[in-house]
């Protein structure tokens, strides 16, 4: 499943000239293919402010389109540069609820030339939805996206 999906993502990014359209399509493909992935989005670091900005997503719209560094799971990953799996969001004090349906979350930073420039964020309505395999998959997605952004001279 992950291998086929990675090929599809590569095809989407190779075919798509617009950065925003490409990323939105990647979010849609992932969300439609993996049943536990209810919300899929890409946040990117603002050029000057210590904030994450939502640039593409699939799933329910969220009001959390701007997240300060340090706030929530996403904001913590902006500072730690580490993958973050949350098995049960109720156990997290520093958590921003996008929807009361969400039970677990995974955030994986996106690096370009060694710099953390953004992240992919997945929410699931099932607790304990994410494992090491998801982490490995999402690291590979981010590697493809970083190459795509580089080809398009974009860091968002």
Which residues, 6 or more positions from 14, have their beta carbon under 8 angstroms from its beta carbon?
Answer: none
Check binding of 104 to ligand SME (CB under 6 A): no
Which segment (1-9, 13-21, 67-75, 147-155) binds ligand SME by CB under 6 A?
67-75
Which segment (13-21, 22-30, 70-78, 135-143) binds ligand SME by CB under 6 A?
70-78
Check binding of 73 to ligand SME (CB under 6 A): yes
Measured between alpha carbons, how far is residue 30 from residues 53, 121, 122, 125, 134 in Å?
20, 12, 10, 15, 11
Check binding of 96 to ligand SME (CB under 6 A): yes
Centre a 10 Å sphere on the Cβ of residue 55 and count the other Cβ atoms it contains: 18
CB of 23 to ligand SME, least distance (A): 15
CB of 96 to ligand SME, least distance (A): 4
CB-based contact 86:104 (threshold 8 Å): yes
| DSSP three-state, residue 155 | coil
Binding site residues, ligand SME, CB under 6 A: 39, 41, 62, 64, 67, 72-75, 95-96, 98, 105, 121, 123
């Amino acid at each position: 499943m992950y291998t086929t999906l990675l090929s599809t993502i590569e095809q989407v990014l190779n075919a798509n000239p617009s950065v925003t359209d490409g990323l939105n399509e990647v979010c849609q493909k992932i969300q439609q293919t993996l049943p536990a992935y209810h919300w899929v989005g890409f946040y990117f670091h603002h050029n000057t402010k210590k904030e994450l900005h939502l640039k593409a997503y699939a799933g329910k719209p969220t009001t959390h389109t701007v997240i300060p560094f340090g706030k929530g799971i996403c904001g913590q990953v902006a500072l730690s540069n580490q993958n973050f799996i949350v098995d049960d969001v109720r156990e997290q004090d520093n958590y921003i609820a996008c929807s009361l349906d969400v039970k677990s979350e995974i955030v994986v930073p996106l690096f370009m030339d060694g710099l953390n420039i953004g992240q992919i964020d997945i929410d699931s309505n099932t607790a304990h939805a994410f494992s090491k395999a998801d982490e490995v998959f999402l690291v590979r997605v981010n590697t493809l996206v970083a190459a795509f952004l580089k080809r398009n001279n974009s860091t968002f």
